Amino acid sequence: PDILDIEAIRADFPILEREFGDQQLVYLDNAATTQTPDQVIDTIADYYREMNANVHRGLHQLSQEASIAYEEAHDRVAEFIGAGGREEVIFTKNTTESMNTVAYAWGLNELGPGDEVVLTEMEHHASLVTWQQIAKRTGAEVKYIRIDEDGRLDMDHARELITDDTEMVSVVHVSNVLGTINPVEELADIAHDHDSYIFVDGAQAVPNRPVDVEAIDADFYAFSGHKMCGPTGIGVLYGKQHILEEMEPYLYGGDMITKVTFEDATWNELPWKYEAGTPIIAGGIALAEAADYLDDIGMENVERHENELAQYALDRFAEFDDIEVFGPPAGEHRGGLVSFNVEGVHAHDLSEILNDYAVAVRAGDHCTQPLHDKLGVAATARASFYIYNTKSEIDTLVEALDDARQLFA
């Protein structure tokens, strides 16, 4: 029996009731964006109905209430990921902006010829393109840790690539294509042995499993609210306090300063030093509510449920000779998503046919073009699972796939 009361969870997500034609939505695109429970939707509506004001500035009651709620949201998120406190939690727009914040604030200032940035072959464009461009501008070099046939990192190669020339190791915690869970603790140890920083892209990890940034010993860690029951437009950059104190800010303007003259300025305390201008107030407060929602379910339970669904999907796909699956094989602990191709059918066509069954999956390169080049395919289809998905929805997916294959046979 499932450890989660899926029916009760589903009742929190009004969008799951939607029907297309006479078919009920089967939403399997959670790695792109998860759906939003009533609790989070209500938090946003309540904020605008009862508390809306700018933060940090006003002395009036509304502004004070909004400021306290917004600041406490940082405390809540810090607790959710095991950070030391609000000083280490910067609210950004998304994982991509978190990555760019460090690339611009730290990378542009600190990198130069002879320095190396080590990524993996399974990086999302959010990290790959960002470090690539920063390297071009600074004269640093980017190197990529190889993956093996099943999409696991080659850790011998990692130990070879990470040297005293390495200044930054930037790795995805869980691959959004392969579902591989990378040994980020071990990579952090290797990076630190060479006095390098490590940045972990946790976009596919924080929503899906318990994450403790201090246990990982990550110097930086990033994720997005919209993949964890939160709204779009809010993301997080975690950074170790002493590093954030030393680092230059990336965006300048109001709120991030303490004292400004016509000649110069000094920076506000953490984390506000990195939150220039009016922040995403409702989004931050709603993200804290999303953390509450997930903690009530229990992140261990989320992880177990997703792994179970991924294993079930892998087992069902194995019934078909012409379905190619990417990433670690069934039996191996992996993230709650499965990328696949049906022989002779382009992933885009597949996704369109599945849409006729009201089954939502992703098709394309999933912002990992170099990885797809490496895999030797232009595109893959991806089914990704969350707390409200069921095995019966995977059965619907498989039935739809079976029909699609016959259409193209």
Q: Which of 30, 36, 67, 94 binds ligand PMP (CB under 6 A)?
A: 94
And the tokens for 365? Answer: 């390169």
Beta carbon nearer to ligand PMP, 196 or 204: 204
Catalytic residues: 367
Whichever of 151 and 404 has its CB closer to ligand PMP, that residue is: 151
Using the rule CB under 6 A, which residue among 172, 190, 361, 371 binds ligand PMP? 172
CB of 236 to ligand PMP, least distance (A): 10
Point out which span in 46-54, 92-100, 333-341, 370-378 binds ligand PMP (CB under 6 A): 92-100
Q: Which of residues 277-336 bind ligand PMP (CB under 6 A)?
A: none
Closest approach, Cβ 352 to ligand PMP, in A, equals 21
Binding residues for ligand PMP restricted to 220-239, rule: CB under 6 A: 224, 235
For residue 103 the two structure tokens come to 């690339």
367 binds ligand PMP (CB under 6 A): yes
Dist CA 245 CA 220 (whole Å):
13
- Which one of 2-10, 155-163, 196-204, 375-383 is the stretch in contact with ligand PMP (CB under 6 A)? 196-204
> Is residue 204 a contact point for ligand PMP (CB under 6 A)?
yes
The answer to whether 203 contacts ligand PMP (rule: CB under 6 A) is yes
Which residue number, 36 or 224, has a Cβ lying nearer to ligand PMP? 224
Report the nearest approach of ligand PMP to the CB of residue 235 (Å).
6
Nearest one of 35, 104, 1, 42 to 388, comparing CA atoms: 35
Which residues in the 17-36 window bind ligand PMP by CB under 6 A? Answer: 31
Radius of gyration of the chain (CA): 22
Binding range to ligand PMP, per CB under 6 A, among 12-20, 89-97, 206-214, 318-326: 89-97
Q: Which is nearer to ligand PMP, 66 or 283 (CB)?
A: 283
CA distances from 94 to 90, 195, 232, 239, 363 (A): 11, 28, 8, 15, 22
Does 119 bind ligand PMP (CB under 6 A)? Our answer is no
* Least gap, CB of 126 to ligand PMP (angstroms): 4
Can you give the length of the chain in residues?
409
Residues that bind ligand PMP (rule: CB under 6 A) add up to a total of 14
Contact residue for ligand PMP among 95, 130, 351, 384 (CB under 6 A): 95
Which residue from 201, 219, 303, 365 is in contact with ligand PMP, where contact means CB under 6 A? 201
Q: CA of 31: how far to CAs of 223, 298, 306, 325, in Å?
A: 12, 19, 12, 17
Give the residue carrying structure tokens 């709204």: 231
Task: Give the residue with the Cβ less far from ligand PMP, 67 or 98.
Answer: 98
The 10 Å Cβ neighbour count of residue 322 is: 13
The answer to whether the beta carbons of residues 322 and 342 sit under 8 Å apart is: yes
Round to whole Å and give the CA distance between 89 and 237. 6
Binding of ligand PMP at residue 176 (CB under 6 A)?
yes
Backbone angles phi, psi at 117, to 5 degrees: -115, 125
Identify which of residues 130 and 390 has a Cβ nearer to ligand PMP in the complex: 130
Minimum CB distance to ligand PMP smaller for 232 or for 355: 232
Answer whether 29's CB lies under 8 Å from 362's CB.
yes
Question: Using CB under 6 A, which of the segments 91-99, 107-115, 279-287, 298-306 binds ligand PMP?
Answer: 91-99
Instruction: Name the residues that contact ligand PMP, by CB under 6 A.
Output: 31, 94-96, 124, 126, 172, 176, 201, 203-204, 224, 235, 367
